[in-house]
Amino acid sequence: MTTLVALMLRDMRLAVRVGGGALMGALFFLIVVVMVPFAVGPDLKLLARIGPAILWLGALLASLLALDRLFATDYEDGSLDLMMSAPTPLELTVAAKAIAHWLTTGLPLVVIAPLLGLMLNVEMGSMGWLMLTLLAGTPALTFIGLIGAALSVALRRGGLLLAVLVLPLTIPVLIFGVAAAEAAIAGPTPFGPAFTILCALSLASFVIGPFAAAAALRYGLE
């Protein structure tokens, strides 16, 4: 257990210190959301209607942004070799890295989402619900992206492959995330079913993601 805590602390410290991960994701999120009103025009009703969808799409793209470096840096400096031959099972190592990644890039997105919601004319009262869906759904994005990050290292291919691999897999998360948010804000469909499916997607990817990613990394050993 101490080994996993040590790994998480190291990854979080790196994310904060290097500044690439934590801050960049949040800034990218901000920029994507700011661009939308310019593209759509100053129609407040329309913005309010598509607001949850835009926030979810922004969060999805922002959480993908830093993912391709998740294993790449450790691969390039030889750390991954040591992690793979360490006594800690690779699945747990990979899961710990993903949790650290979510805490430094996913959680900030959830926290700044209400601020960005203001720009999209989302009601203040609905913001709590929207945050709740993001909180429940962004871990799924990280753990699905984990598989892509491991594959892109194993196949020695860069960032774009990751997006191509991962984005189609995140469609269910996007569907139920937006559905839950819109149900909470506008109705008439109930919030419960969509939200529970969203939670289920997060939990399932939490289990499947580390195993698939560890398998991909082992395959890449050649």
Partner 1 sequence: MADATFTGALEKDARKIGVFKPETTRLMQLTAENLTCLRGGREVFRDVSFALKSGEALLVTGRNGAGKSSLLRLIAGLVRIASGTLALTGGEAEAAIGEQAHYLGHLDALKPALTVAENLRFWTEFLGPSSGDIEPALAAVDLAPLSDLPAAYLSAGQRRRLSIARLVAVPRALWLLDEPTSALDAASQTRLSDLMRRHLTSGGMIIAATHGAIGLERARELKMGAQ
Minimum CB separation from partner 1 for residue 178, in Å?
A: 37
Residue 60 near partner 1 by CB under 8 A: no
Q: What are phi and psi of 10, to 5 degrees?
A: -65, -45
In angstroms, the CA 101 to CA 15 distance is 8
Residue 39 or 222 with smaller CB distance to partner 1: 222
Q: How far is CA 38 from CA 42, 84, 219, in A?
A: 7, 47, 45
Crossing angle for the helix pair 90-101 and 69-76, to the nearest 10 degrees? 120
Gap between the Cα atoms of 199 and 36, Å rounded: 28
**Total number of residues binding partner 1 (CB under 8 A)?**
23
By CB under 8 A, residue 83 contacts partner 1: yes
| CB 158 to partner 1: min, Å | 19
Closest CA to 138 of 173, 184, 181, 180: 173
The 166-205 contact track toward partner 1, x by CB under 8 A, reads ----------------------------------------
CB of 83 to partner 1, least distance (A): 7
> Which DSSP state fits 189?
S
- With binding defined as CB under 8 A, does residue 86 bind partner 1? yes
Among 53, 84, 200, 208, binds partner 1 (CB under 8 A): 84
For binding to partner 1 (CB under 8 A), which residues are involved?
A: 2-3, 6-7, 10, 13-14, 17-18, 76-79, 81-88, 221-222
